[in-house]
Structure 1
Amino acid sequence: MRDDRQEARRAVEAMVMVAEAPVAPGLMAQLIEIPIGEVEAICDELADEYRAEGRGFELVRAAGGYRYRSHPDAEGYVKRFVVSGQSARLSSAALETLAIVAYKQPLSRAQVSAIRGVNAEGAMRTLEQRGLIYEAGRDPGPGNARLFATTAAFLERLGLDSLRDLPPLVDFVPGAEVIEALETSLMADSRPTPVSDANGDGAGGGEAGGGA
């Protein structure tokens, strides 16, 4: 029985090691032919062992699966190795746009642009090309604008298991009244500016003037 357990541990390590994306515990359980709970227990054991041994990597749960990543304590060395000379880093505009999509998804390009106060077309295109956001549907309103949301790759990059693990938005943005004002302005911006009231009688129009 102990040999079977050791074999399962080796299999988990091997699969997570070669995978390009987080490996779901259900898939590993199916391939090793053991219960999902046992796979999760093995992953917890391995993570504890790596931590106790002071390894330069750790086993973490992200995007619904398990993956290896470098230990946060080794961040400085990893940056020297990977980031030095790297020109494909996201710009601050793209990072701001990604944060907006992450917390307000799903939403359209126009909505992102309205929140940022500048055209977000280029940043959205970059994020979509990087596989960090995707088209999650269409707005049922006029124009059927494309709605965007974050991908599993986004969760993996941040080391999150789900969007519920994002830090509370209240820690980073103004109060609720400001957010409400922004959302109200988004709704208003999607409608043409009226030149008279709904009845067309120009009541209270003042400078707008009446008809002929």
Structure 2
Amino acid sequence: MSKNNLNKQQKIIECLIFANDGPLPARKIIQIIGQGTEKQIQEQVGVINSKYTKADIPYEIIEVAGGYQMVSKPDYSDWITKLYASRSTSRLTQRALETLAIIAYKQPITKQEMESIRGVNVDGVIRTLIERNLITVTGREKAPGNPLLYGTTKFFLEYFGLNSLEDMPQLKEIDELLKSDEKFLESLDQVSLQQMLPEDLGIASMIKDKTTKKDNSAETEENIHQDKQAADAIQTDENEMTENTDDAS
């Protein structure tokens, strides 16, 4: 392919990704332009992103939910947050977040299994998560009563900035995730990474408090270290003055 044709193809790919409402799969791009492979599309996107970086463009193309999507860079998240600050958003409760984590790591999973792990009824939480399009019914378990099985949706991946479920933090047991709120928040820090807005999840203040405490602790230790150095310096000066006085005598 000539250089001119290659540049034109890159512009077409860029335009398609920009115009699409959500993540655009590579196979769809290939279908539209009528040529190429998924690996070639990935390489073209890499070239486009390199141009963005070189020109200091405030947005980029990422792989998310099995496709490509144009997003603003994390450095500009504060301004994006202010843009949407006036929009009223209903936050997910801690119960909903914990149940969502169980489904994400244990899917496909029945309601009874969720309740066995959490120890409480999850009917209302399941309805909320389905309404948010974060989970869906994936089938029925071959067991007495044929209970419904639940799993996460493509929007779940898009919302948390994941390309696939394999990108989630690797945890041996979901039970360990739920032992304390702090551990759960740490796992969310790993998951959110690029796209998740903590304000939407109702955990921004908790994360901020946790970070502030760590910063204050580090600052206190530094101050103690500096005070000790100053005290040592004063003691050294006093010793030298005493020695000089003795010599003079």
Q: What residue is the counterpart of 1:26 in the other structure?
A: 27
Q: What residue is the counterpart of 2:138 in the other structure?
A: 136
TM-score normalised to structure 2 length: 0.65
Inter-partner Cα distance in structure 2 for 1:87 and 1:80? 13
Q: What residue is the counterpart of 2:79 in the other structure?
A: 77
Inter-partner Cα distance in structure 2 for 1:68 and 1:166? 21
TM-score normalised to structure 1 length: 0.75
Cα separation, partners in 2 of 1:114 and 1:83, compared to 1, 3 Å? farther
Larger radius of gyration: 2
The letter for the 2-side match of 1:163 is L
Q: Which sections of structure 2, spanning at least 5 residues, go unmatched?
A: 178-249
Native 8 Å contact 2:117 2:175 kept in 1: no
The list of structure 1 runs, each at least 4 consecutive aligned residues, that deviate by more than 6 angstroms after superposition, is: none
Q: What residue is the counterpart of 1:114 in the other structure?
A: 116
The structure with the largest helix share of the pair is 2
Q: Which sections of structure 1, spanning at least 5 residues, go unmatched?
A: 176-212
The letter for the 2-side match of 1:64 is G
Q: 2:154 aligns with which of 152, 155, 159?
A: 152
Inter-partner Cα distance in structure 2 for 1:89 and 1:43? 34
Identical columns (%) = 33
**How far 1:174 sits from its partner (Å)?**
2.6
Native 8 Å contact 2:60 2:71 kept in 1: yes
The CA RMSD measured in Å over matched residues stands at 2.0
Cα separation, partners in 2 of 1:173 and 1:78, compared to 1, 3 Å? farther
Inter-partner Cα distance in structure 2 for 1:87 and 1:132? 15
User: What SS class does the counterpart of residue 148 from structure 1 fall into?
Assistant: strand
**How far 1:88 sits from its partner (Å)?**
2.6
Cα separation, partners in 2 of 1:2 and 1:158, compared to 1, 3 Å? same
Q: What residue is the counterpart of 1:7 in the other structure?
A: 8
The letter for the 1-side match of 2:19 is V
Inter-partner Cα distance in structure 1 for 2:116 and 2:174? 18
Question: Between Structure 1 and Structure 2, how many residues are aligned?
Answer: 175
User: What SS class does the counterpart of residue 60 from structure 1 fall into?
Assistant: strand
The letter for the 2-side match of 1:133 is I
**How far 1:117 sits from its partner (Å)?**
2.1
